[in-house]
Amino acid sequence: MSDAATQPDSYPVTDRSRVKRLHERGRYDHAAVHAILDAAMVAHIAYVIDGQPFCTPTAFWREGTHLYWHGSAASRMLRAQKPGLPVCLTVTHLDSLVLARCGFNHSVDYRSAMCFGTAHIIEDLEAKARALDAMIDRFYPGRNAELRPSTAQEIKATMVVGMEIEEASAKIRSKGVGDEEEDYALPIYAARIPVTQVIGAPEPCPRLVDGVAFPEGLKGFTAGRRLDEVMVESHRTTFGVE
Amino acid sequence: MSDAATQPDSYPVTDRSRVKRLHERGRYDHAAVHAILDAAMVAHIAYVIDGQPFCTPTAFWREGTHLYWHGSAASRMLRAQKPGLPVCLTVTHLDSLVLARCGFNHSVDYRSAMCFGTAHIIEDLEAKARALDAMIDRFYPGRNAELRPSTAQEIKATMVVGMEIEEASAKIRSKGVGDEEEDYALPIYAARIPVTQVIGAPEPCPRLVDGVAFPEGLKGFTAGRRLDEVMVESHRTTFGVE
């Protein structure tokens, strides 16, 4: 355990969560980890069935230090998680390609967060319905109130999984080109090429009823905006700043 | 085993790789799987150490039906993979947010590929040097010839991991809004909001030697282009169309 383990607003640092490679890039405070999580809609979840690892992409969201995701009740992953399965949920934002003057220093700038915990299924129907409403509003503020309400059958057919973050680490690289000192004099092109995930212009459903307007709650979803910034905004609008 | 298992240009369909949820979205042919892999720079890799799953993002590349990735020789993941570790490597492209008329039908359009295999470390120095050169050129065609050559120390400090794809599946959703028939008459906004990962204008290193031009091999990397399209182009330029 390092000192970080005793910080009140940090996740404990353990052998499982400690950033070992380039450890100066590692952070364990809630603010750093949550900022990376809240900027994303999709995470990759690693879990094990009979010794075989699986890596599944899924939409997820955070409330406090708890993570949620969902899927069909028929999903293999979620079935396996029923008894309480160890899980590693990872979010990665690719921020730039880094072209250096030698192969070794080629890199990317990125922000990633790894969260460890034990997944549990939310069985209680009311808790499940509340979580599914929260999921919609987390991504699209205020939207749930405008939708046709979920049926009991729809709620039953959906499995919601929750996981308290037991340990987590954030890893960030943002320095662009970093070459060996003697290599800067070489006549070789080097650059940082930014990469962003952006939203395009919304394409209304062709069967939209006449006169239905673009909802006020979606005003952040405008063409050309960065998805990570919109996701953080939506999270704050719905859950407030924690 | 399904019929797909007997197709020459398909990966075998097994209990491990079969797409169980919404199985009509599943494909196992090389063309479908490779198209998703080659459009990406970053994958998420699931592996198990002492029963604990980890999910690590990493740059990777494909040659034929073999995948490669690399990292520091000190990396926990790569150390654990030394004896030949079962791995699931997953690539996901988020293509759109899908806002339906009820919560249940909210979704995303996406392309994902899951690849199963056993990771092995490439120990031979020449094979390792060749793989590292291929990695640079896979992402940035022709670039390796322009770089300061790797030193023996740099090659030694890098671990390269390879994995034959034993089984793989692709899962694609691209239908946009899909509501219950009776819900289309409701006065509720519904839309597909496209999401793309785009390249920004290259930012040359501030210490670039005067007169060094933007390399011909990077001509595909222009501001506003989709990263997935550039990645496919680079792969084809370097390895040809397979």
Q: Confidence class of residue B49 from pLDDT cuts 50, 70 and 90?
A: confident
DSSP reduced 3-state for A175: coil
Query: What CA–CA distances, in Å, run from A239 to A35, A141, A145, A235, B235?
Result: 14, 9, 16, 6, 43
Q: Is the pLDDT of residue A216 over 70?
A: yes
The reported pLDDT for the residue numbered B142 is: 96
Distance of CA A239 to the CA centre of its chain: 16
Residue A143 and residue B99: Cβ atoms within 8 Å?
Answer: yes
Nearest to B228 by CA among B91, B99, B130, B93: B93
Q: Confidence class of residue A223 from pLDDT cuts 50, 70 and 90?
A: very high
Domains and CATH numbers, chain A: 3-196 (2.30.110.10)
What secondary structure does DSSP assign to A183-233, as a single string?
GTTSS---EEEEEEEEE---EE-TTPPTTPPPPGGGTT--TT-BHHHHHHH
The reported pLDDT for the residue numbered A1 is: 40
Q: Give kind and range of the element (H or E) at residue A162.
A: strand A158-164
Residue B42 and residue A108: Cβ atoms within 8 Å?
Answer: yes
Q: Are B233 and B227 in contact (CB under 8 A)?
A: no
Residue A55 and residue B76: Cβ atoms within 8 Å?
Answer: no
Q: Which residue has better confidence, A17 or B108?
A: B108
Cβ-in-10-Å burial (0-12, 13-18, 19+) of B12 comes to middle
Average pLDDT for B182-205: 98
Which of A193, A198, A222, A227 is the best substitution to test chain B (most B C-beta atoms within 10 A)?
Answer: A193
Residue A201 and residue B208: Cβ atoms within 8 Å?
Answer: no
Q: Is the pLDDT of residue A83 over 80?
A: no
Q: Give kind and range of the element (H or E) at residue A118.
A: strand A107-121
Q: Confidence class of residue B116 from pLDDT cuts 50, 70 and 90?
A: very high
DSSP reduced 3-state for A96: strand
Q: Which of residues 136-175 of A touch B (CB under 8 A)?
A: 136, 139-140, 143-144, 146-151, 154, 157-158
Which of A22, A77, A147, A229 is the best substitution to test chain B (most B C-beta atoms within 10 A)?
Answer: A147
Chain B residues whose CB is inside 8 A of the A20 CB are 74-76
Q: Which of residues 69-88 of B touch A (CB under 8 A)?
A: 71-72, 74-76, 86-88
What do you get for the CA distance between the two ends of chain B, in Å? 26
Average pLDDT for A158-166: 94
Residue B206 CA to residue B203 CA, distance in Å, equals: 8
Chain A residues whose CB is inside 8 A of the B203 CB are 176, 191-194
Q: How many residues does chain A have?
A: 242
pLDDT in tens, B212-241: 999 999 999 999 999 999 999 999 999 998
Percent of chain B with pLDDT over 70: 90
Q: What is the DSSP letter of B205?
A: -
The rounded mean pLDDT for chain B is 91
Residue A239 CA to residue A76 CA, distance in Å, equals: 30
**What are the tokens at A62?**
């955070």
DSSP reduced 3-state for B43: strand
pLDDT in tens, A13-44: 988 888 876 766 889 999 999 999 999 999 99
Among chain A residues, the shortest Cα distance to B16 is held by A52
Q: Are A82 and A121 in contact (CB under 8 A)?
A: yes
Q: Is the pLDDT of residue A143 over 70?
A: yes
The reported pLDDT for the residue numbered B24 is: 67
Residue B13 CA to residue A52 CA, distance in Å, equals: 16
Q: Which residue has better confidence, B15 or A216?
A: A216
Average pLDDT for A128-134: 95
Distance of CA B242 to the CA centre of its chain: 17
**What are the tokens at B122?**
């490439």
Q: Confidence class of residue A166 from pLDDT cuts 50, 70 and 90?
A: very high
Chain A residues whose CB is inside 8 A of the B89 CB are 55
Q: Are A23 and A65 in contact (CB under 8 A)?
A: no
ipTM at complex level: 0.93
Average pLDDT for A203-219: 96
- Which residues are CB-neighbours of B205 under 8 A, at least 6 positions away? A176, A177, A179, A184, A190, A191, A192
The reported pLDDT for the residue numbered A3 is: 46
Q: Are B159 and B78 in contact (CB under 8 A)?
A: yes
Residue A169 CA to residue B54 CA, distance in Å, equals: 12
Residue B86 CA to residue B68 CA, distance in Å, equals: 14
Residue A76 and residue B21: Cβ atoms within 8 Å?
Answer: yes
Residue B57 and residue A86: Cβ atoms within 8 Å?
Answer: no
- Strands (E) located in chain B: 26-27, 42-49, 52-63, 66-72, 85-99, 107-121, 158-164, 167-173, 191-199, 203-204
The reported pLDDT for the residue numbered A196 is: 98
Chain B residues whose CB is inside 8 A of the A108 CB are 41-42, 59
**What are the tokens at A231?**
């996701």
Q: Is the pLDDT of residue A2 over 60?
A: no
pLDDT in tens, B59-83: 999 999 999 998 766 566 667 766 6
Establish if B102 touches chain A: CB-CB under 8 angstroms: yes
The rounded mean pLDDT for chain A is 91
Residue B147 and residue A90: Cβ atoms within 8 Å?
Answer: no
Q: Which residue has better confidence, B84 or B79?
A: B84
Residue A103 and residue B136: Cβ atoms within 8 Å?
Answer: yes
Residue A20 CA to residue B80 CA, distance in Å, equals: 13
Tell me the H-state helices in chain A. Answer: 30-38, 76-80, 125-139, 152-157, 227-239
